[in-house]
Structure 1
Amino acid sequence: MTTTFLEDVIIDLKKQGQDVSKLTFILPSKRAGVFLKNTLHKHIPGTFFSPEIVSIEEFVEQISNLERLSNTELFFEFYSVYLNITPKEEIEPFDKFFKWAQIIIQDFNEIDRYLIEPNNIFDYLSEIKKIEHNHWSIEANQTSYIKNYLSFWNRLKLYYQTLTKQLISKQKGYQGLVYREASNNLHAFIKQNTNERFIFAGFNALNKAEEVIIQELLNQGLANIYWDIDNHFVKNKLHDAGHFIRSHKKNWPVLKKHPFKWNANHYHTDKQIAVTGTPKNVGQIKYIGGLLEKLNTVNQLKNTAVVLGDESLLIPLINSLPENINAINITMGLPLHQIPLASLFEKLFGIYKSKKTIIYYKEVVNILSHEYIRPLFKDNNLNYANVIIEHIQTNNIVSLSVHELCEIAPNKKELLIQLFITCRNNPIQALHHCKNIILNIKTHLDSNKSNNLLALEYLYRFNEVFNSLEQMMEQFNYIETVDTLYSLYRELIKNDTLDFHGEPLQGLQIMGMLESRVLDFDTVIIASVNEGILPAGKTQNSFIPFDVKRENKLPTYKEKDAVYTYHFYRLLQRASNVHIVYNTEPDVLNGGEKSRFITQLEIDETHNVDSSIVTSPVPSISKKLLEVEKNNAVLNRLKDIAQKGFSPSALTNYIRNPLDFYSQKILGIKEFDDVEETVAANTLGTTIHNTLEDLYRPLINKKLTEDLLKNLKENVSRLVHNHIKNEFKSGDITTGINLIIFEIAKRYVNNFINLELNQIKNGDVIKILAVEASYKVPLHIPELDFPVHLTGMVDRVDEFNGTIRVIDYKSGKVEPGKVKINQWEDLTTDYDKYSKPFQILAYAYMMNYNNPFEKPIQAGIISFKNLSQGFMPFYENKSNLITQDTLDNYFQELKQLILEICNPNSPFVEKEIHQ
């Protein structure tokens, strides 16, 4: 790479014989000052005093004698002016004021920085609004809305004047006011600094105040200015990269008297420029990661910069950096709202500003599960966050109060109050809770500070935000609700950043476009070079119309485009290798069109541009089913299960997917038991089963009669209520869909009793033999050297017109075809088709083992959602009777299944589930 711009400046000053130590360098940014110091060290031998190096904003602030206000303080000052001037009936609360005040302040900034006579703008605006709404203003009976609207525009001038006076009286100012006062105070500053020498370097677009200040210092012989522009852009009168500097050369008288430094000729040097389109932002980041991997030497990386057009890609880029990059320097801030800690306070403010005193369980679980909060509940070996969550799940609690939370974990009462107390009309309390929580988290992190440095930095920045809010709330009393506090807090973290501190002169440089000012690199990678990003295009965040801005020479989107054009091409001037990456895929915010900068490069023909479209390689991934080998621990666990007994549901679960059987039965992993806000299907089924058990247990060994069945119906509502409350715990069944499900449960039970009443009336004889009968029988499997049992519980056994029936209740819908088989070999192959026959045959087998059948029986299902089908018996081919042959055939399939499960050489293989 050729010499950098900063090196050229220092070399030129040395040629002039300037004593660099006595100079003051003014640069576009603070970051550039670090690189200037390094350049001085390279080119000036020996020991010397470092010159003063300041950014242009710091320099202007020195001239103005005003202290720059923070944005937070500025809005509070503006609101005090607003309250004093605005009629009481038109005053808006602070949170509404805050939304439009940001735009007004930005307009005040522009007016002041460009030294526009404010009355001209505000009077013009007021007249425009009258013209736009002339039919309003001449109406005899104007509504209050119309009057307020027009009076607001009339008051803008008064808002500006009063705010300006108030701030100057306090020797404070916003950016624009600082610039205006600096231009007014310039002559006094010059008188006090006649022996100083100022060097301005690397400027391009200047506001009017900056132009006045720099020109006057040049005229007085107190300053030199070095421009960083290439002849290629100056000579081409249509090229936006040279727009501002061409204007300065033309309009500044001082530049006509002295040599212009400099028109360089770096742009025409040999460069390798590659333009690459890749789908989506993640494609850009992965592609850049691949480029960086090839730059595997320290010197290459030291002279390499990644410039992000879209700064939201910073975190994805950091996560995609190759392992060979050990040192990086990030010269852009991470927005606070992207920091993990922001999600915690987002959740907390949701609680604080709530009108309700009870808290939805998911809010409790989300906060207690947060990575920064869960450790605070640890006490010795017990974590009370887990205790509270388990209590909520076990008792099926949908909502609860802070008092109830404190009863669950009384020794964490203070922390629970800080997290979950609502303080809607007490913003000071909410603010104090946030600060106390930060202190609690800090105390925990301090116990292992070396591993929590980044987290502590997060905490520090958020503590600064809350301290700033607290300071303003003590000085001004405008924040009356937590809603207002939350709105202000969100704006602060949206516009504030966490700055990275590191060694700026080592390793790979990662920066935004504005941070690249004055800096030069041999290899430049620019990301997101798309229309709408580089340049930003027609964005208008102002109350001042476009034509008014043009009339008063205020910057519009056209000038902002020219600024980014300059920065883009300035990066290319001294670089040897340039990689320009853009997103090819359209989405909601970005049309996917490549930037006009790329098109301009391609048609300019100054350099050969290698254009290509790339996509990330998509490997062909074949679905590999998971397998788990059976080691000694697994085999011992299988022996324990066999001893206790395989249940029909466990066996059918294996048929469905062996890996589920392994997870649930071998490892004992339970599915997460979420709170039931709506009565679940399994809760409904359990309620019906338990109700029928209570109703029919007193009738065991009795024949059903009409009177018995009618008496049962009297207890249905009470029993269903008791059982559904027992299962649903603290859930509410008095309203909404849960009330409907409660009524459905009662209807199912009553319909079942009515079914049996009709059967009795038709002459059928029904005798109850058993209800919820539990069985455990041994299985004779000689191939296994350990005992094996089959266990299960039969919902009901009865005798129907002399035939014994084994009945399994199903609360879901079952069709008769689901209890039939044609080939015994199919029984253990398809869960969906044959799980129900497998289960009811298991019940029949266990019953027969204890009391061998004297004659064939039936086994089947009663489906409460398909009750019109009545009892649906198991069918083998065309027979619905279960004989000894049937059970023998079943046992052979059962035996083979258990042998497969217990076979040490047969791993648990995941079964592919077809949706």
Structure 2
Amino acid sequence: MTTFIFDVLRDLQENHRNLSELTFVLPSKRAGLFLKHQLHKVCQQTIFAPEIISIEEFVEELSGLKTVSNTELLFEFYNTYLQLSKKEEADSFEVFTKWAQILLQDFNEIDRYHIPQKKIFDYLIDIKEIEHHHWSLEENQTEFIKNYLAFWNKLHSYYNHFSEALKAKSIGYQGLLYREAADSITNYIENNSDKQHVFLGFNALNTCEETIIQALLKHNLADIYWDIDAKFFNNTYHDASLFTRQHKKNWTYFKENDFKWITNNYTIEKNISTFAIPKNIGQAKYIGSLLKQLQQDNPDLENTAVVLGDEDLLIPVLNSIPDGINALNITMGFPLKSIPLAWLFESLFYLHKASSITFYYKDVINIISHQFIRPLFYINETDYASKLIETIDANNIIYLTTSRLKEIATESKTIIDLLFSNWDESIETALKNCSELIIQIKNHLDQDKDANLLSLEYLYRFNELFNELDNLNSKYKHINDVSTLFGIYKELLSSETLDFQGEPLKGLQVMGMLESRVLDFETVIISSVNEGVLPSGKSNNSFIPFDLKIENKLPTYKEKDAVYTYHFYRLLQRAKNVYILYNTEADVLTGGEKSRFITQLELEGIHNINHQILTPKVPVIKPSEQTVEKTEQLIKDIKAVAEKGFSPSSLTSYIRNPIDFYYQKILKIKEHDDVEETVAANTLGTVVHNTLEDFYKPLEGSFISAEIIKNLKNKIDERVTFHFKNEYKEGDITKGKNLIIYEIAKRFVSNFLDFEIKDLKAGNEIKIVAIEADNKVEITDIPELNFPVKLVGKVDRVDEYNGVIRIIDYKTGRVDQNQVEIINWEDLTSDYKKYSKSFQVLTYAYMMHLTNEIKLPVEAGIISFKNLSAGVLKFAKKDKPGYGAKKDVLITNETLYNFKNELKNLILEICNPNIPFTEKDV
């Protein structure tokens, strides 16, 4: 396969040009590397390498200025802005950066296209004046409109002052370099009258580039080689040749000299396939599959390029590259914003943006749990990060201060200070904290350098980034708060990358569309060929209106689309195998619609295009119930639980889902107690239970009166508050939902006491028998088991109501009467939702009967604080379903006999080695 670079070198050689004495100027440095590699193919003898430079380097040389970063330009521009603005009216640096970015882009375009500055700014002011008269009904201008128009009037002043200030420092933005270079070309020609230049691979040229190249051509100091196919060039509607047609038509040089070259490579037979694939990740995975197929005929994937239309696909594509590729080159850097350290510093800036002495617990936990921070909390064999997290969870701490953090992690004061202290004291302190944090992380990683090489590389790049931030802050003094620092940090971060080390001339090449300029590959895979990506479509990030751009021959979205059209088709010109992928799903604002480039390929009818619609293979995974077979060890564990005692809640847990019982009672796995930002239902229940225990425990064994209960009402506030502090720890109950729940707890207790007073005033006698009575009893009549089985449980309340013993369980949730009634005994152990409440109260009654603490018959039931008007919801055995069925509310020997049989069957099932724990669909 021939390449454009090789064809150029061969043409120069055939025309007996001395390659060593030429200066090659190319669109990119990368193209220069390939050109240098091709030299040996045309040279018959050893020669000195020619000078090979990019157009940006050439322009720097001509202009005598150095390009500086976009971030530094913002700082320099802010100097200009402050000098030309009244102090009291000037925007803060943070606000300034929002509009200055756009204005800098406009300055850049105006200079690159060598537009007379005053002309375009005056035109712009006139447009704004006319707009004002159209949309303002006020004859006299308001203060807002005056300020608005004053801004446009100042643009020319901003430009003049800014460009002069930059030139005085011998620096500039790209456009200023181009304008200065174009203005200096005459001097350059006079001083380099025998220096020969070769320009190759260019397409869209700005006015300054055209001026420079045409001047050199006019003085016979240059040759220029274009790379355009006849199929595009001869089609006046084809955007791939939009610029080359203009150059051939408008440049006087081509009236007398040949136009090199219009080639005929595109019409040569090619294998072109398009793949419609859902989602970006789908494309990345399929690129991996394609490369694996291509490896069968080309193991090292020589002369193969993966061109990413959307450069965000880089990481997924790299993760999809198959094994066995010995040589790989990635022209794009790994974006620093994708590195875990970026997230760490973003979290820190976010935390300190709002100047506050307290920090939200989730933000604190996120930071101390970070992979680079957590090891710094491991001191003297103590994991203080875990200690902090556990203390926050256990004490329900929602907001923390630095002093509280130091109090918990006593030996981690240094790292706590770096992360959480004094960031708002000054920008210098914030930056110093970041730099010191990087050193602390480095000291830890240095303990095992070989295992942490990549992490140390990340750290080095972030150290450079913060050094740059520090330099900018020291030099310009425009950063006044952490929020502004955060904005500049993100601006720098967005353009910083970590460069890959690879084989630049061998094997598989992974690149963006712009890196493919001048290069040719036999096999090309292009991803994200969607409208809005390739080409990028309409965007107007400019203060200059569309019609004004047309008037001054500035590029619009049409020209930008034509640039990408050229790059796309140039990749196809000499390729033999082309694989085009596009996303069928709409992702955010792009995707879903295939690019016009694909439609154009189809309509041309030159190549047979193989279309495929791909979908990922989704395996059908049949849901299967989890089962745990009962091994000898598991049986031993069950016996240990049985001997310790089954509680009513553990037995109902088994009824609901045996797997839950296995996790909680056998494996002893407890649910993690998260911080309760809002009081949880079980916390509310505990507070109400404990308050009522405080009130009624001293009354055990005595009859109660309305007067006694009325006196208890005075203690509600104090006891509820005490128990909230005891259960909710350092959580805040003074505002929001928690205050409402706190008031609800007091209302529940107050309503219950009112209910009790009303009952007593109605003439009913109530004697408190036991409060929170602990029960532990062994079941002796299960001969099938050769080991002891016990029941344990705590009964909320046992009283004597008009001579009848009642066993009562409190529920803060809503319970209705039908939930404590049964028809068939076997339902007790099969339907958790309906009968778990009945099962619990019957278990309490059965335990107390076995210990002879009660004499039958008795009643058992539930008091629901959300259904208090219903009174005690008594357990009842019904003869048949439906309204009006006979109910038996007394628990007799017969009742407990029937219950005991169901209980026995349940325990036998739990202990049966042949019945596994099987998950239920709950």
TM-score range, shorter chain: over 0.9
Measured against aligned partners, the alpha-carbon deviations of 1:297-354 in whole angstroms (never above 9, x if no partner) come to 4546232222221222222223333445565422223433333222211211122222
1:671 is paired with a residue of what secondary structure?
coil
In structure 2, relative to structure 1, the CA distance for the partners of 1:909 and 1:329 (3 Å cut) is: farther
Pair 1:885 & 2:884 matched: no
2:867 is paired with a residue of what secondary structure?
helix
- Residue aligning to 2:809: 808
2:612 is paired with a residue of what secondary structure?
strand
Post-superposition shift, 1:139? 7.0
- Residue aligning to 1:181: 180
- Residue aligning to 2:479: 479
Query: How does the TM-score come out when normalised to structure 2?
Result: 0.95
2:492 is paired with a residue of what secondary structure?
helix
1:62 is paired with a residue of what secondary structure?
helix
RMSD between superposed Cα atoms in Å? 2.2
Post-superposition shift, 1:564? 0.4
* Alpha-carbon contact 2:361-2:399 (below 8 Å) kept: yes
Post-superposition shift, 1:697? 0.8
Pair 1:7 & 2:6 matched: yes
Measured against aligned partners, the alpha-carbon deviations of 1:862-913 in whole angstroms (never above 9, x if no partner) come to 1111111111122222322222333233233223323333333433322222
- Residue aligning to 2:556: 556
- Aligned residue runs from structure 1 range 884-903, under 5 A: 884-903=893-912
Give the partner amino acid of 1:286.
Answer: K
Moved more, 82-91 or 787-796: 82-91
* Alpha-carbon contact 1:352-1:422 (below 8 Å) kept: no
Post-superposition shift, 1:661? 2.2
1:295 is paired with a residue of what secondary structure?
helix
Show structure 2 runs of 5+ residues with no match.
879-886
* Alpha-carbon contact 1:425-1:482 (below 8 Å) kept: no
2:362 is paired with a residue of what secondary structure?
helix
- Residue aligning to 1:266: 265
**Inter-partner Cα distance in structure 2 for 1:617 and 1:8:** 45
Post-superposition shift, 1:280? 2.7
**Inter-partner Cα distance in structure 1 for 2:457 and 2:779:** 65
Moved more, 199-208 or 820-829: 820-829
- Residue aligning to 1:872: 873
In structure 2, relative to structure 1, the CA distance for the partners of 1:444 and 1:42 (3 Å cut) is: farther
- Residue aligning to 2:913: 904
**Inter-partner Cα distance in structure 1 for 2:146 and 2:617:** 63
- Residue aligning to 1:420: 420
Give the partner amino acid of 2:144.
Answer: Y
Post-superposition shift, 1:141? 4.2
Pair 1:57 & 2:56 matched: yes
In structure 2, relative to structure 1, the CA distance for the partners of 1:186 and 1:612 (3 Å cut) is: same
**Inter-partner Cα distance in structure 2 for 1:548 and 1:425:** 47
* Alpha-carbon contact 1:351-1:422 (below 8 Å) kept: no
Pair 1:762 & 2:744 matched: no
* Alpha-carbon contact 1:357-1:422 (below 8 Å) kept: no
1:274 is paired with a residue of what secondary structure?
strand
1:185 is paired with a residue of what secondary structure?
helix
In structure 2, relative to structure 1, the CA distance for the partners of 1:601 and 1:788 (3 Å cut) is: same
**Inter-partner Cα distance in structure 2 for 1:666 and 1:215:** 86
Give the partner amino acid of 2:890.
Answer: L
* Alpha-carbon contact 2:523-2:576 (below 8 Å) kept: yes
Give the partner amino acid of 1:102.
Answer: Q
1:411 is paired with a residue of what secondary structure?
coil
Pair 1:496 & 2:496 matched: yes
Measured against aligned partners, the alpha-carbon deviations of 1:571-590 in whole angstroms (never above 9, x if no partner) come to 11111121212222345412
Give the partner amino acid of 2:405.
Answer: L
* Alpha-carbon contact 1:352-1:430 (below 8 Å) kept: no
Give the partner amino acid of 1:849.
Answer: L
* Alpha-carbon contact 2:310-2:533 (below 8 Å) kept: yes
Show structure 1 runs of 5+ residues with no match.
none
In structure 2, relative to structure 1, the CA distance for the partners of 1:45 and 1:804 (3 Å cut) is: farther
**Inter-partner Cα distance in structure 2 for 1:463 and 1:645:** 60
2:301 is paired with a residue of what secondary structure?
helix
In structure 2, relative to structure 1, the CA distance for the partners of 1:908 and 1:321 (3 Å cut) is: farther
Moved more, 603-612 or 297-306: 297-306
* Alpha-carbon contact 2:764-2:802 (below 8 Å) kept: yes
- Residue aligning to 1:395: 395
- Residue aligning to 2:224: 225
Post-superposition shift, 1:464? 2.1
Give the partner amino acid of 1:703.
Answer: F
Post-superposition shift, 1:511? 1.6
1:203 is paired with a residue of what secondary structure?
coil
- Aligned residue runs from structure 1 range 311-322, under 5 A: 311-322=311-322
- Residue aligning to 1:514: 514
- Residue aligning to 2:450: 450
Measured against aligned partners, the alpha-carbon deviations of 1:771-791 in whole angstroms (never above 9, x if no partner) come to 111112223333334332221
- Residue aligning to 1:626: 626
Measured against aligned partners, the alpha-carbon deviations of 1:16-44 in whole angstroms (never above 9, x if no partner) come to 34443443322211222332233234554
* Alpha-carbon contact 1:703-1:768 (below 8 Å) kept: yes
**Inter-partner Cα distance in structure 2 for 1:329 and 1:892:** 75
Post-superposition shift, 1:197? 3.0
**Inter-partner Cα distance in structure 2 for 1:348 and 1:665:** 42
- Residue aligning to 1:791: 792
**Inter-partner Cα distance in structure 2 for 1:542 and 1:122:** 13
Pair 1:368 & 2:377 matched: no
**Inter-partner Cα distance in structure 2 for 1:691 and 1:137:** 69
Moved more, 800-809 or 662-671: 662-671
Post-superposition shift, 1:496? 3.2
Give the partner amino acid of 1:285.
Answer: A
**Inter-partner Cα distance in structure 2 for 1:284 and 1:327:** 22
1:638 is paired with a residue of what secondary structure?
helix
- Residue aligning to 2:39: 40
* Alpha-carbon contact 1:369-1:385 (below 8 Å) kept: yes
Moved more, 496-505 or 459-468: 496-505
2:888 is paired with a residue of what secondary structure?
coil
Measured against aligned partners, the alpha-carbon deviations of 1:41-77 in whole angstroms (never above 9, x if no partner) come to 4554675543332211112111211111121221111
**Inter-partner Cα distance in structure 1 for 2:478 and 2:893:** 87
Pair 1:239 & 2:238 matched: yes
1:236 is paired with a residue of what secondary structure?
coil
Moved more, 27-36 or 63-72: 27-36
**Inter-partner Cα distance in structure 2 for 1:786 and 1:49:** 96
**Inter-partner Cα distance in structure 2 for 1:21 and 1:295:** 38
**Inter-partner Cα distance in structure 2 for 1:93 and 1:629:** 69
* Alpha-carbon contact 1:402-1:421 (below 8 Å) kept: yes
- Aligned residue runs from structure 1 range 96-245, under 5 A: 96-134=95-133, 141-245=140-244
1:809 is paired with a residue of what secondary structure?
strand
Pair 1:704 & 2:685 matched: no
- Residue aligning to 1:67: 66
Pair 1:749 & 2:749 matched: yes
1:302 is paired with a residue of what secondary structure?
coil
Moved more, 165-174 or 872-881: 872-881
2:829 is paired with a residue of what secondary structure?
coil
Post-superposition shift, 1:416? 0.8
Measured against aligned partners, the alpha-carbon deviations of 1:715-740 in whole angstroms (never above 9, x if no partner) come to 22211111111111112222332222
Measured against aligned partners, the alpha-carbon deviations of 1:437-492 in whole angstroms (never above 9, x if no partner) come to 12222222222223333322322222222211211111112111112111222222
Give the partner amino acid of 2:791.
Answer: L
Give the partner amino acid of 1:374.
Answer: R
Moved more, 644-653 or 75-84: 644-653
* Alpha-carbon contact 1:278-1:284 (below 8 Å) kept: yes
1:301 is paired with a residue of what secondary structure?
coil
Post-superposition shift, 1:125? 1.0
In structure 2, relative to structure 1, the CA distance for the partners of 1:745 and 1:63 (3 Å cut) is: same
**Inter-partner Cα distance in structure 1 for 2:48 and 2:917:** 75
Post-superposition shift, 1:682? 0.8
- Residue aligning to 1:331: 331
Give the partner amino acid of 2:128.
Answer: K
* Alpha-carbon contact 2:422-2:429 (below 8 Å) kept: no
Give the partner amino acid of 1:575.
Answer: A
- Residue aligning to 1:408: 408
2:56 is paired with a residue of what secondary structure?
helix
**Inter-partner Cα distance in structure 1 for 2:455 and 2:666:** 39
- Aligned residue runs from structure 1 range 643-722, under 5 A: 643-722=643-722
- Residue aligning to 1:825: 826
Q: How many residues align?
A: 912
**Inter-partner Cα distance in structure 2 for 1:237 and 1:611:** 28
- Residue aligning to 2:884: none
Pair 1:847 & 2:848 matched: yes
